[in-house]
Amino acid sequence: MRLVARLLGFLGISWLLLAAGCYEVPVTGRSAISMVSDKEVAKQSLAAFEALKKKYPRSRNKDMQARVQRVGERLAKVVFWDVPDADWEFVVFEVPQQINAFAMAGGKVGVFSGLFKIIQNDDQLASVLAHEIGHVAARHVHERLSQDMAIQGGGLLVGGIMAGSGAGGLTSQAVIDAYGLSTGITAVGFDRKKEKEADHIGLMYMARAGYDPEESVKVIENLENASAGQPLPPAWLSTHPSNPERILQLMDLMPKALAARRQSSQVQEHTLVK
């Protein structure tokens, strides 16, 4: 089996293309390629999430948990068709030193309690969660795993493709690494293009859920203020480079997002509960 895998590996690009699955990223419409199975990534993401639940204590702050649940459920409704296989779960971890949040394939969402240092309202929380869910909807982790496998060579690539049949190329550790969650504060996030894409998708998702998209700009400003004068930037900042480029893109998309919010059937309900 191993020899066959290597031989197939040598066939290189043509094999890649044969095995690859093309898909369209929701909201942006970008064409992307995934070489890993959705089922396998969801399975390993679930295992990774369970591992993180063992690693970090849950927050006992009921208010934080309720807020994340409330906002998360509303976003989950609007992303139903873009993340159809999700079994949503929202957990606040007691990690006050980390301003961070993540979402995984299969609908597993984690928020580190430090995030609440920069969150002033539900709209801002929605902006962060929608950005993270944007990464999931765009299947950025699938793309990253596909790239890693291509770099590491054909053997692992074939193992990855066949993971569903038990060859086992994909591990929950590889998935944790791909999400940038392995080393905490020094974690390496997605590249800038993917971060901007998640900003774009997240902005539209939060607006469709009836949240105020303009609060997304404030979150970036809050983050900048929180990191000013600190020796190390918070993890969320190091993995989500904060720069004028991000804010400019958000401002560019703002008219569209505001229109989406006006159309959202949930605006009325939101105004009442706000």
Q: What are the residues binding Zn ion (CB under 5 A)?
A: 195, 198, 240
Residues identified as active-site:
132
Choose between 177 and 195: whose C-beta lies nearer to Zn ion: 195
Instruction: State which residue, 95 or 129, has the beta carbon closest to Zn ion.
Output: 129
- Let me know: does 246 contact 220? Beta carbons within 8 Å: yes
Of 43 and 140, which CB lies nearer to Zn ion in the complex structure? 140
Q: How far is CA 188 from the centre of its chain?
A: 13
| Cβ closest to Zn ion, residue 122 vs residue 195 | 195
Residue 129 Cβ vs Zn ion, minimum distance, rounded to whole Å: 11
For tokens 């480029």, what's the residue?
245
CB of 128 to Zn ion, least distance (A): 9
| Nearest-approach distance from CB 195 to Zn ion, in angstroms | 5
Euclidean distance between CA atoms 235 and 199, whole angstroms: 17
Which tokens hold the place of 89? 């779960």
Shortest Å, Cβ 222 to Zn ion? 16
C-alpha of 107 from chain center: 10
* H helix count then E strand count, the chain: 13, 5
Q: Give the pairing of strands 89-93 and 108-112.
A: parallel
Which of these, 138, 148, 166, lies nearest to 157 by C-alpha position?
Answer: 148
User: Is the Cβ–Cβ distance between 241 and 192 less than 8 Å?
Assistant: yes
| Shortest distance (Å) from residue 84 CB to Zn ion | 22
Q: How long a stretch of residues is the chain?
A: 274
Strands (E), the chain: 21-24, 31-34, 89-93, 101-104, 108-112
Complex with Zn ion: residue 92 or 141, whichever CB lies closer: 141
Determine the Cα–Cα distance for residues 172 and 166; give it in Å rounded to an integer: 14
